[in-house]
Amino acid sequence: MIDPDRRRLGLQGLYVLTDARLGHGAVLLEAVAAAIAGGARLVQYRDKSDDPGRRRKEAGDLADLCRSQGVTFLINDDLALVEYSGADGVHLGRDDLPVAEARARLGPRAVIGASCYGDLALAREACGAGADYVAFGAFHPSAVKPDAGRADPRLLSRARAEIPHPIAAIGGITPENGAALIEAGADMLAVITGVFGAADPRAAASRYARLFNEGSREG
């Protein structure tokens, strides 16, 4: 299990996930740069398409961008792409490589996240296997995954009480409903369309980032 002292790792704030339908190449890079300028603190490259050359190029460019801005950069599912691009780590879903195997391959410094849906037991298992953070959702209807199972926001409070790791919330999160999830226990709000589907990704990211600033002032 990873040392609990690593639990912060900068894993807090707006967490943006890319989506292949929202643009490629320079369009993608420009959108991610705008999101970072607006306050995104983590970026996940999520592209399930069968175009390895383009995926390597995009991942490498995004890794360079995130590194230059001090932003954590993760790859969805693909350990080989993590190694190729120099990304900070990987995010794994239920049907991906087990967390323990990813940890063994990527080493102790890699950041590893795990999707746990609405299952607290799955989160405990992931943390025990070496995950640095866990993600729960979907908390609201999702345009990207309309058939995703729904999670109850009360799960975040239970997870906060039981799991000494950062927690991400995902699924249909907007600036209007995100504050309640942070209050319930989410360290990160994971967003795709709410930022990259907006006409101005920087302004959209800023609206989410402001939720964390407001929470800090209230605390």
Task: Encode the chain (219 residues) as per-residue pLDDT tens digits.
Answer: 333 444 445 799 999 999 887 888 899 999 999 999 999 999 999 998 889 999 999 999 999 999 999 999 999 999 999 999 999 999 999 999 999 999 999 999 999 999 999 999 999 999 999 999 999 999 987 777 767 677 899 999 999 999 989 999 999 999 999 999 999 999 999 999 999 999 999 999 999 999 998 755 444
Residue 6, in any domain of the structure: no
- Quick one: pLDDT at residue 141? 79
Q: pTM of the prediction?
A: 0.92
Residue 3, in any domain of the structure: no
- Quick one: pLDDT at residue 2? 34
Residue 4, in any domain of the structure: no
CA dist 90 and 72 (Å) reads: 11
- Number of structural domains, the chain? 1
Q: Is 46 a catalytic residue?
A: yes
Q: What is residue 17's three-state secondary structure?
A: strand
Residue 120, in any domain of the structure: yes
Residue 32, in any domain of the structure: yes
- Quick one: pLDDT at residue 205? 98
CA-based nearest residue to 93, from 125, 115, 110? 115
Residue 104 structural domain: 11-218
Q: Is 216 a catalytic residue?
A: no
Residue 5, in any domain of the structure: no
CATH number at residue 120: 3.20.20.70
Neighbouring C-alpha atoms within 13 Å toward the C-beta of 147: 0
Considering 115, 142, 206, 207, which one is annotated as catalytic? 115
Q: What are phi and psi of 126, to 5 degrees?
A: -65, -45
Considering 7, 46, 57, 210, which one is annotated as catalytic? 46
Considering 7, 56, 145, 210, which one is annotated as catalytic? 145
Q: Is 145 a catalytic residue?
A: yes
Q: What is residue 146's three-state secondary structure?
A: coil
